[in-house]
Structure 1
């Protein structure tokens, strides 16, 4: 067990690291892009349109190619997604989000490797995906989530 003073020191340093992240240029760019996205009516309309079509897409996926509107809905989904992705605010937000995730991944890797070379660290936002494996290695370790 970690001694009390060591525990307090770790908490203090982790809080300081969190504050440094919140003051970073990468986070500020992410925050600004997010704010610009949520304040843009056109971007919000495109996102809403895509989400509405995505519900239809999920219904089509239950039946696959046998769904009577399969081709039409698949084309519609691609069209709406493309329109959404080509919006300047959406594109800027996605770029800023990827950069911020990269910073967080880099920090996680640095911390993990300072403890041991054997600690597995998710990369490229893999912590946000559900691999079904509890260790974050993408299932390559062979463990199974129960």
Structure 2
């Protein structure tokens, strides 16, 4: 690709936009809440418990309802996720994460629409949407918490 002045200007403006995002209040809130969550022993314990339960869930999911522990694991996955989500540090991080995702979606949409109405851009936090499934499996488990 031959670099033109227009291409260089676009790259410069993109870099400037990236720096503005990194310096925004929303990004600062995201980084602060993430750091707090990552250093909180209780939050990390809950995250580890949920991750371990998700591994059990993945094993059970291969067989679906036919697995002998299916219903037990489904209940445990939902309850450990709910417990993790109810932690103040985790909840604050998730709110900050959604706010950052909303900002990035808005910027993407603005840039895409500046080019053409037909250009597709993420909307409504599509990157964080898990199809209504409470455990983040993409809806495969059928839970709705």
String of CA shifts for 1:120-142, please: whole Å, max 9, x gaps.
Answer: 1121233577xxxxxxxxxxxxx
Aligned length: 129
String of CA shifts for 1:26-54, please: whole Å, max 9, x gaps.
Answer: 11111111111101111000000000011
1:3, distance to aligned residue in structure 2 (A): 6.0
String of CA shifts for 1:42-87, please: whole Å, max 9, x gaps.
Answer: 1000000000011111111111121111121111111111110000
Q: Is the 8 A contact 2:60 2:70 kept in 1?
A: yes
Q: Is the 8 A contact 2:98 2:128 kept in 1?
A: no
Aligned to 2:59: 59
CA distance in structure 2 between the aligned counterparts of 1:8 and 1:73, rounded to whole angstroms: 54
TM-score, normalised with respect to structure 2: 0.83
Gaps of 5+ in 1: 130-146
CA RMSD of aligned residues (A): 1.7
Q: Runs (4+) of structure 1 moved beyond 3 Å?
A: none
1:1-146 aligned within 5 A: 4-127=4-127
**For 2:29, what is the secondary structure of its paired residue?**
helix
